[in-house]
Amino acid sequence: MMVKLFGTHELKDDCAKGFEIEGKRLFAVRKKGEIHLYWNRCPHLGTPLEWEEDKFLDGDNALIQCATHGALFQIDSGKCLVGPCRGKHLQPVPFELADGVVSVAEAVLKRPSAI
């Protein structure tokens, strides 16, 4: 069974949006029309990345930024470029895009590795 997260029209380019589903936190980023979905957890301390609701990107909307220590991550790969977790990656969340709707399998949300 799939859990609907959002319609693609709800997430503009160079923007991010956070979600909490069944106690699991994740977020989506749209860059150059591509959608990327990650668990909302910094690989350094395991803290949520945003400092305000849906504020996951740096000032230029070019990188994902952790609010705790300022680590910067590539949007397309989740790789940390700067900060205490340099070289590590955000954990991507597999999703399905169908008819303009982004959904996640319920089983993905129930995995022990889901945050």
pLDDT, tens digit only, all 115 positions of the chain: 999 999 999 999 999 999 999 889 999 999 999 999 999 999 998 899 998 999 999 999 999 999 999 999 999 999 999 999 999 999 999 999 999 999 999 999 987 665 5
53, 67 Cβ separation under 8 angstroms: no
Q: By residue range, what is the domain housing residue 43?
A: 2-110
Task: Encode burial over 50-88: b for 16+ CB neighbours within 10 A, e otherwise.
Answer: beeeeebbeeeeebbbbebeebbbbbeebebeebebeeb
Residue 48 lies in a domain: yes
Residue 115 lies in a domain: no
Number of domains comprising the chain? 1
- Closest among 7, 26, 10 to 115, alpha carbons compared: 26
Compute, in degrees rounded to 10, the torsion defined by CA atoms 98, 30, 76, 37. -60
Its pTM stands at 0.94
CATH number at residue 89: 2.102.10.10
